[in-house]
A and B are shown apart, each in its own frame.
Chain A
Amino acid sequence: MKPLRSYKIPFLLFTLLLVFCFLINISLGSVHIPFKQIITVLFNGETEKQAWDYIILNYRLPKAFTAILTGSGLAVSGLLMQTLFRNPLAGPFVLGISSGASLGVALLIMGASTLGITIFLSNISFAIAATAGSFLVLLAVISVSLKVRDTMAILIIGLMFGSITAAVVSVLSYFSSAEKLQQYIFWSFGSLGNLSWNELLLLFLLVCCGIAMSIFSLKSLNSLLLGENYARSLGTDIRKSRLIIICTTSILAGGITAFAGPIAFVGLAVPHLTRQVFNTTNHKILLPAVMLYGAVLMLICDTIAQWPASEFTLPINAITSIVGAPVVIWLLVRKRKMIF
């Protein structure tokens, strides 16, 4: 194992890259706002146009922060799942968390209308529905994980829950009107630019909580890399650490899905990309590294999705998948040479 000092340079570079991407992200968008004006607004000044102030302070800034939080949070939960299941293809949603959230939201949008109830949909109601849905699936997974000895079985059970919820969602879709379907589809595309400052604060607290819990699990994560039996011989309480890791992932992935929708691939691809750069499997290095990498990647994806200098915008999920899918393909092809 290399001493921690030798990672200083890549960390410094990534931090600089993060700052750079952040600035690029808030200065590019559909509306052209000169960079000088952006700096003015950031330092409490006023631009020549009221709409610009509003766009920067209440749309682009929250969006950039959302990108940073979702990118880091999903990357961390992806890393935890890959380590827990010792499976390079695990991601934050293998436990059926996003399927649970989708079911909650589908019930809110389409179930309510089928039953003839009209609920008015605000951001918060989406978040509550998604949280409730993922929490239910999570409860099921946790109760199974307390009963099952084998970690792999949990993985399969998570996938099964995913299939069940997907089936219920498709039945709901079948019976729902075009507008409701459109609403649901738009939620499933994911969206970063839809959070108010208050919602952002809530998301920030959730992500911080998840990251604090993963710092707490660092030791058991490193011992899990060597296999469960070996971890036991090192004195790790497998069931307890498994429970903590599952809870951490749910807080991160569940909270992010609640506010930004099911964002694909970042959680799966970032840990691998990070291992390639940092060339280590030590979680003390990997954890901060995936956070930085995830945030940078999400900012870049969002900048592309905003399609600068045009009025149009692309769904964030399309972009993350365009980046993520080739990575996964490449992983499968080069599986033997993987640092894992």
Chain B
Amino acid sequence: MTRTVLTIIISFLCLSACKQKKPKSPGKEGTETIIKYASGFRITHFDSYTKIEVSAPWPDAEEQFTYVLTGKGKTLPDGVAYDARIDVPVKNMVVTSTTHIPALEALGVEDRLTGFPDTKYISSEKTRKNVENGRIKDLGSNESINTEVLIDLQPDMVVGFALNGGNKAYDIIRKSGVPVVFNGDWVEESPLGKAEWIKFFAPFFNKEAKADSIFNHIETEYQNARKLAENITEKPTVLSGAMHKDVWILPGGKSWAAQFIRDAGGHYLWKDTDNTGSLFLNFESVLNKAQDADFWISPTLFKSYNELKTANPHYGEFRPFQTQNIYAYSKTTGPRGGMLYFELGPNRPDIILKDLIHIFHPEVLPEHKPFFFKPLDP
């Protein structure tokens, strides 16, 4: 008897805890926004609402998220399933990654931002001002957002990013009635794919046309620069990264950083590795392969030859060190020392690419003023 009761209770608990299956969306076909490079999201417009589906909020995500955007007070057609419903245009929002900020600024809606975790990492001048004058509240850190402060802000939505599905803070925010929307721009691997996430932000402010024209400009600039570099037969060899103790950390052959080197007409010495993240290699193998490289880019946080030499005398053995051909993104920083390469870089791949072409092939873009990549100090 008790067993039967227990079974009934347990199955009831299971049933109530399990997520309800989403019913199929209504048959009416919407129009899809053209997404050329990004693979993590889709946008479909219907008569009375817009649907955004995020399929890659984090690497190897098994669930997909559906967000429905409608005008305030509008009713949705029956049977539309969603994970969050957002009334647009959004007037007051929280984002969680510095990479979201340039998109908001480009769309001219940076004044809608009212909260951000760890504001000290924000480098952009416009948004920095809003932090200084108290318009943007600091919410602690992304992995443990200060929920009380956030709920007190009552934002229309939170654009979150999660390393996996286990960010507890977002669940609490969701339960408090604030919609959470996952942004997976960082999961995207191609330079233009990352930049195309500006289109993801547009529908929240009814700025689709503006986002399209901004992205088309970036795409055209990028592709034109790439074609210029493509025709050059001389490809200089390139080393990247730097050491932690005696382990050299450098971008994998299929990573975002490695694709820039390829598109800029450089021969990245580890281009044949299949890794999309970082490689952790032993010092001797790096020296053996790259001692005579032509260029060395992105030696992590180092800003000068002197710092490199102080940190590890081994660095002096590499030819780019001797010929002073090391270029770093660490010298382009915001007022609080945050690196713009990580904040603005994903949104402006065209500038990164032109910087690198300018370094590898100075004759191709002689007019270009490097923005992210600058030579190291002595």
Known interface pairs A50-B291, A122-B311. Does A186 touch B245 (Cβ–Cβ under 8 Å)?
yes
Chain A residues with CB under 8 Å of B283's CB are: 59, 193
CB of B314 closer than 8 Å to a CB of A: yes
Per-residue A-contact encoding for B283-305, CB less than 8 Å = 1, 0 else: 11111100100000000110000
Decide if B312 is an interface residue (CB 8 Å cutoff). Answer: yes
CB pair A30 B281 closer than 8 Å: yes
Q: Quick check: is A187 within 8 A (CB to CB) of the other chain?
A: yes
Contact B245 A55 (CB under 8 A): no
Measured between C-beta atoms, what is the minimum distance from A47 to chain B in Å? Answer: 12
Beta-carbon contact of A306 and B282 below 8 Å: yes
Interface membership of B83, Cβ < 8 A: no
B337 touching A118, Cβ below 8 Å: yes
Flag whether B234 is at the interface (Cβ < 8 A).
no
Tell me if B285 and A31 are in contact (CB < 8 A). yes
**Contact assessment for A312 and B280 in the assembled complex, using a CB-CB cutoff below 8 Å:** yes
A120 interfacial by beta-carbon distance below 8 Å: yes
Segment 19-56 of A: residues with Cβ below 8 Å from B: 29-31, 50-52, 54-55
Is A51 touching B291 in the complex (CB atoms < 8 A)? yes
Q: How far is the CB of B213 from chain A (nearest CB, A)?
A: 34
Q: Is A321 an interface residue (CB 8 A)?
A: no
- Fill in one digit per residue for B345-374: 1 if any A CB lies within 8 Å of its CB, else 0: 000000000000000000000000000000
The verdict on A179 contacting chain B, using a C-beta distance below 8 Å, is yes
Residues in A neighbouring B26, C-beta threshold 8 A? none
User: Measured between alpha carbons, how far is A191 from B246 in the docked complex, in Å?
Assistant: 7
* B-side contacts of A177, CB under 8 Å: 121
Residue of A nearest to B270 (CB): A311
User: A29, A55, A123, A196 — which one has the most chain B CB atoms within 10 A of its CB?
Assistant: A55
> B313 at interface (Cβ–Cβ under 8 A)?
yes
| Most chain B CB neighbours (cut-off 10 Å) among A31, A183, A187 | A31
Partner of B285 from A30, A50, A52, A120 at Cβ < 8 Å: A30
Contact of A29 with B282 in the complex, beta carbons under 8 Å: yes
Q: In the complex, how many residues of chain B place their beta carbon closer than 8 angstroms to a beta carbon of chain A? A: 27
B288 partner, pick from A51, A122, A123, A182, beta carbons under 8 A: A51
Total residue contacts A-B, CB cutoff 8 A: 80
A313 contacts B by Cβ under 8 Å = yes
Judge whether A186 and B247 touch: CB under 8 Å: yes
The verdict on A123 contacting B287 (CB below 8 Å), with A118-B337, A179-B301, A312-B282 known, is no
What residue in chain A is nearest B288 (Cβ atoms)?
A: A31
- Cα A248 to Cα B287 in complex, Å, equals 38
The smallest C-beta distance from B280 to any residue of chain A, in angstroms, reads: 7
Inter-subunit contact B287/A311 (CB<8 Å): no
Judged by a CB distance under 8 angstroms, whether A58 is at the interface is: yes
Nearest to A189 among chain B residues (CB) is B245
Q: Does A272 contact B (CB under 8 A)?
A: no
A60 lies within 8 A of chain B by Cβ = yes
Task: Kindly state whether residue A194 has any CB partner on chain B within 8 Å.
Answer: yes
B317 with A193: CB separation less than 8 A: no
CA distance A58 to B284 in the complex (A): 10
Q: Please indicate the chain A residues that have their CB under 8 angstroms from the CB of B247 in the complex.
A: 186, 191, 313, 315
Please determine whether A311 and B244 come into contact, CB atoms closer than 8 angstroms: no
A121 at the B interface (CB under 8 A): yes
Q: A120-B310, A120-B311, A191-B245 are in contact. Are A55 and B288 (CB under 8 A)?
A: yes
Bound Cα distance A118, B311 (Å): 14
| Alpha-carbon distance between A45 and B307 when the two chains are bound, in angstroms | 32
Closest A residue to B120 using CB positions: A116
Interface hits, B246-291 → A, CB 8 Å: 246-247, 279-288, 291
- Is there contact, CB below 8 Å, between A55 and B284? yes
Quote the shortest CB–CB distance from A70 to chain B (angstroms): 14
* In the complex, chain A residues whose CB is within 8 Å of the CB of B288: 30-31, 51-52, 55
- List the A side residues contacting B141 at CB < 8 Å: 174-175
User: CA separation between A186 and B282, bound complex, in Å?
Assistant: 13
Q: Which chain A residue lies CB-closest to B121?
A: A177
Q: How far is the CA of A311 from the CA of B287 in the complex (A)?
A: 11
Docked pose: A59 CA to B312 CA in angstroms: 12
B307 lies within 8 A of A194 (CB): no
Quick one: given A186-B245, A311-B282, A312-B280, are A120 and B307 in contact (CB under 8 Å)? yes
Which residues in B have their C-beta under 8 angstroms from that of A121? 311
Q: Interface code A121-155, partner B: CB below 8 Å = 1, 0 otherwise?
A: 11100000000000000000000000000000000
Q: Which of A175, A187, A313 has most chain B Cβ within 10 Å?
A: A313
Instruction: State which residues 105-159 of B face A: CB under 8 Å.
Output: 121, 141
Question: Looking at A30, A118, A307, which has the most chain B CB atoms within 10 Å of its CB?
Answer: A30
Given contacts A182-B244, A312-B280, A313-B280, whether A196 and B313 have CB atoms under 8 Å apart is: yes
Q: Interface on B for A, CB 8 Å cutoff?
A: 121, 141, 244-247, 279-288, 291, 300-301, 307, 310-314, 317, 337
Given A55-B287, A59-B283, A196-B313, 7 more pairs with CB closer than 8 A: A63-B246, A121-B311, A122-B310, A186-B247, A191-B247, A311-B281, A313-B280
The residues of A with any CB-CB pair to B shorter than 8 Å are 29-31, 50-52, 54-55, 58-60, 63, 118, 120-123, 174-175, 177, 179, 182-183, 186-187, 189, 191-194, 196, 261, 306-307, 311-313, 315
Can you list 19 residue pairs at the A/B interface with Cβ under 8 Å? A30-B282, A31-B287, A54-B287, A59-B314, A121-B311, A177-B121, A179-B300, A186-B245, A191-B247, A193-B245, A193-B283, A194-B246, A194-B312, A311-B282, A311-B285, A312-B280, A312-B281, A313-B281, A315-B247
Closest 3 CB pairs of A and B: A193-B246, A191-B245, A30-B285
